[in-house]
Structure 1
């Protein structure tokens, strides 16, 4: 019953996460341009602000049709509308039902894994932030500080009550997470003159380290690298793109971090049993 409630709640939160994924990057870019003009003392230039994340109602990006309440029901509205805008008939992106369903399923797994308690509630917050970060990175190759920093500080804060890891493990995990990718970034840049990854990846792995501890960093890096190499190669091959095409790494880090928080110790033990290390 608790997992079912979590699934329904996840559908609703997934609907909001779609708004965050779509509206946060344009909002940030608008603020960056505004602040840059002010810093460089450039003439004022009027540029209307993009839609707010919370206040403004959802609307069709093509015709501006404002969605009625029944058009905002997670997944069901997409099916009832047959994937098209009621105002102009433009196809609705599959991102909407996919994000809603994925969020609902992941929330249900959190409750199934930890039971109805503080661990499940914290894992749900963890999951929601990771879904938003993964979605934004897939669309824009950005990992906004507005999401990675709260993820980091919440993880460090929860360590003070040792909900998942101890404060020492959380601090060392955050340090190791940031410095490991930061070091790879600078070595790669010195050798090739190119930037191999964005700074947001450092911050995301630091946040994952705060939740999963120092012992979780290596499994997260290995899982994300392995999955990223396979999926990235398939993505480039199917789309016929050059291998120099940048591929967002954040979604793979997010997926690996989520798996590590859910079943990290069990996966390590399974590997030891399989390899005969015990």
Structure 2
């Protein structure tokens, strides 16, 4: 504890605003980095030259307005405050800036503040803050692109096992290990069964890895509550989108955001509360 639980949580929330700003970059750029890598690998396999393009990573190039290319200056990139000062519009072309940017920053701040308020300014508080940030990024990337990058799911899985081994997560290592195994195998078996019956792929391998990571963080006992919550809410959202003609091309809804939502719910309220919320 630095000073008091309230002050520690407030400082963590401020850190969360900064991390949330970076998460916006990750959410936007990581899928594009992956697509560029895939294109380069395909070109090499086909014996074609790889076209020279502007460097793209999480640091380069500087953030720009997608409408006019205006380079975002530092005072236009202050979490939440800049969006409010600019009234949600680009300073150069006045094109709207998505409300999602400040919402991601505020959500990350709230999750960081909660983690430190609950677990203190400790390694556990830091670990659960990182867990929440990773889930938030994965949920939005999957919703936008139906991708769950290994660059996020696999470190989240290993971090859960390490946190259990160091007693940061409060989950015994053996429970975390079997949680990871059970999380992966359960969805893999569902995938194989669905494919055998229909000839179609019902979900991606990223969902298996994400559920394995949740098992590592919460233990095998939490798997059933989390998958039930994700399935119920996913079904409700899917039906609502279908009735409103809001389904994307192909008529599917990514499952990752609902798994991530179940994980964040378990972090805040505990796995047992999930069963109560869905009436079980």
TM over 0.5: yes
Q: 2:188 aligns with which of 172, 175, 182?
A: 182
Superposed, which structure 2 residues align to 1:105-120 within 5 Å? Answer: 105-120=110-125
How many residues are aligned here? 271
- Structure 2 gap ranges (5+): 1-6
1:166-225, CA deviations, whole angstroms, 9 ceiling, x for partnerless residues? 111111000000000011111111111111111100000001111111111111101111
**Alignment match of 1:44 (pick from 40, 44, 49):** 49
CA drift at 1:59: 0.9
Runs of 4+ in 1 over 3 A off after TM superposition: 239-244
Tell me the distance in 2 between the aligned counterparts of 1:243 and 1:54: 32
Q: 2:63 aligns with which of 58, 63, 70?
A: 58
Change over 3 Å in CA distance of 1:240–1:41 after alignment to 2: closer
The structure-2 alpha-carbon separation of the partners of 1:93 and 1:239, relative to structure 1 and needing over 3 Å to count, comes to farther
Q: Deviations over 1:220-269 (max 9, x none)?
A: 1011111111222223323444896111111110111122233326527x
Could you say if the C-alpha distance between residues 75 and 242 of structure 1 is closer, same or farther in structure 2, counting changes exceeding 3 Å?
A: closer
Instruction: Write the deviation string for residues 108-150 of structure 1: whole angstroms up to 9, x where unpaired.
Output: 1112222222221110010111111111111101000000000
Q: Does 1:33 align with 2:57?
A: no
Residue aligning to 1:77: 82
Report the counterpart of residue 3 of structure 2 in structure 1. none
Query: Contact 1:236–1:242 at 8 Å: present in 2 too?
Result: no
Rate the CA distance shift 1:171–1:108 in 2: closer, same or farther, 3 A: same
Q: Which residue of 2 aligns with 1:172?
A: 178
Task: Give the secondary-structure state (helix, strand or coil) at the position aligned to 1:256.
Answer: helix
**C-alpha separation in 2, matches of 1:125 and 1:117:** 13
Matching of residue 247 in structure 1 with residue 253 in structure 2: yes
- Structure 1 unaligned regions, length at least 5: none
Q: Name 2:198's counterpart in structure 1.
A: 192
The CA deviation at 1:47 is 4.2
Q: 4, 10, 13: which one pairs with 1:4? A: 10
Instruction: Evaluate the alpha carbon distance shift between residue 266 and residue 249 of structure 1 in structure 2; reply closer, same or farther with a 3 A threshold.
Output: closer
CA distance in 2, matches of 1:217, 1:49: 43
After TM superposition, the score normalised by the length of structure 2 is 0.91
Q: What residue in structure 2 maps to residue 227 of structure 1?
A: 233
Rounded to whole Å, the distance in 1 between the matches of 2:248 and 2:213 is: 31
Are 1:26 and 1:50, in contact at CA under 8 Å, matched by a contact in 2?
no
Task: Give 2:145's aligned residue.
Answer: 140
- Structure 1 window deviating more from structure 2 (65-74 vs 113-122): it is 113-122
Q: Secondary structure at the match of 2:69?
A: coil
> Secondary structure of the residue that 1:92 maps to in structure 2?
coil
- Alpha-carbon distance in 1 for matches of 2:54, 2:189: 37
Contact 1:209/1:216 (8 A) holds in 2: yes
CA RMSD of aligned residues (A): 2.0
- Of residues 249-258 and 15-24 in structure 1, the stretch that sits farther from structure 2 once superposed is 249-258
3-state SS of the aligned residue for 2:257? Answer: helix
